Amino acid sequence: MIKCATCAVKNKCLKDMKCDLIKPKYGKIKHVVGVISGKGGVGKSTVTGVLAVQLRKLGYKVGVLDGDITGPSMPRFFGLEKERTGYAPTDVENVFKFVPVETGLGIKTISMNFMIEEEEPLLWKGPVLGNVLMQLFTDTDWGELDYLLIDMPPGTGDVAMTIMEQFPVDYLVMVSTPQNMVSMIVQKVVNMAEKLEIPVKGVIQNLSYIKCNHCGEKMNVFTRNTAESQAEKMGLPLLAELPINPDFSEHLEAGQAERFAATNPEYDVIMEAFRNDEQEIYARNKAVKKKTIPFL
C-alpha cells in the first residue's frame, strides 16, 4: 500500500481522497483524533476519557477506540471493566461485526479488554497488533459519530506508526506533564508526526498543578516553568492545563471518573480549544486543496 507521504504524485491528488487509508465498514465517522504521549504514565488515557466526556457534553456523538492494545485503560476509566464486546451478524453470511460498549453518557467504546480478562497479557508482536487494531476500527458498528478518539500507545513504535500512516486521522493531541524529560520525549512524537504529515493540534499538560484546599492558589509541583513556556519549546499551542486532583483519583478507582469529569467545572477548560474545531479542519483541508490545484 502506497503512503501519501512517500507517493511520487502526492501533489496531484486531493487530501479528501484518502486513497490509502482504512475506512469503517459499519458506520460513518466525521472526525478521527489521535491522543498520544511521548511516554507512559502521563495520564494520556485519562485525558482521552475527559476529552470524550467534554465533547459528549457539547452534544457530539463520540466514540473511543482503545488503541493501546497491550496496555488498555479505557474500560477502567469508564468503569466498564466487567463488560464484554457484543457481536452482530452482517449482510454477509458468517461475517460478524463488533458491537461497542456504551458508557453512561452514551460514548461508544471498543477495547481488547472487553474481549479478554483484564490481567491476561497479549503476546503479540508489532504487525499482529497493528492488524488487530485496524480490524477493531473497520469492523466495529460505530453508527454515526462526530468524533472518534483513539487512545494511542505512547512513543513512536509500530502501532503508533500504523495509526498515523493508515488511519484517517484528522490531527493529534499531545499529552505531556511538566517535567523537562517528558517534554523532550514528546518532541520525538511531534517530529514523527511532522514527517508523516499528520497535523498536531497542540498539547494538553496533565498533572500541571495542585490547588490549595484552603485558598485555592495553584501550586506547581514538578517545575517552576509555566505550561505556556514548555509548550512554546515544543512549538505547539497549549490547549489546556489539567490539575492533580485527589478527588478525581478516588472517583477513578470507584469507576465514577466519567461522572466526575462531566460535573466538575475544572475540566470544562479542555473544550475551549475545540470549539472552532470543524472550521479549523475545513480550513486546513481547503488550504491543501488550493495548494494542489495548480498541479492538476
Using DSSP, state whether 173 is helix, strand or coil: strand
CATH of the domain at 117: 3.40.50.300
Residues contacting 288, CB < 8 A, separation 6+: 14, 15
Ordered strands of the 108-110 beta sheet: 101-102, 108-110, 62-66, 141-151, 26-37, 171-176, 200-205, 238-241
1 within some domain: no
220 within some domain: yes
Residue-wise pLDDT tens digits, 43-70: 899 999 999 999 999 899 999 999 999 8
| Annotated binding-site ranges | 38-45
pLDDT number for residue 287: 56
284 within some domain: no
Closest CA to 44 of 198, 193, 150, 194: 150
Residue-wise pLDDT tens digits, 216-242: 777 777 766 667 777 888 888 989 888
263 within some domain: yes
Residue-wise pLDDT tens digits, 193-222: 999 999 999 999 888 778 877 787 777 777
| Annotated binding-site ranges for ATP | 38-45
Which grid cell sits at 190? Answer: 511531534
Which grid cell sits at 179? Answer: 517535567
125 falls in which pLDDT band (50, 70, 90)? confident
pLDDT at 290 over 60: no
225 within some domain: yes
**Alpha-carbon span 105 to 102, nearest angstrom:** 8
3 within some domain: no
Give the side-chain half-sphere CA count within 13 A for 125.
1
pLDDT at 30 over 90: yes
How many domains, in total, are found in the chain? 1
pLDDT number for residue 288: 46
5 within some domain: no
pLDDT number for residue 260: 94
Q: Stretch 15-32: mean pLDDT, rounded?
A: 82
Range of the domain at 254: 23-279
Residue 13 has φ and ψ, to the nearest 5°, of -125, 165
142 falls in which pLDDT band (50, 70, 90)? very high
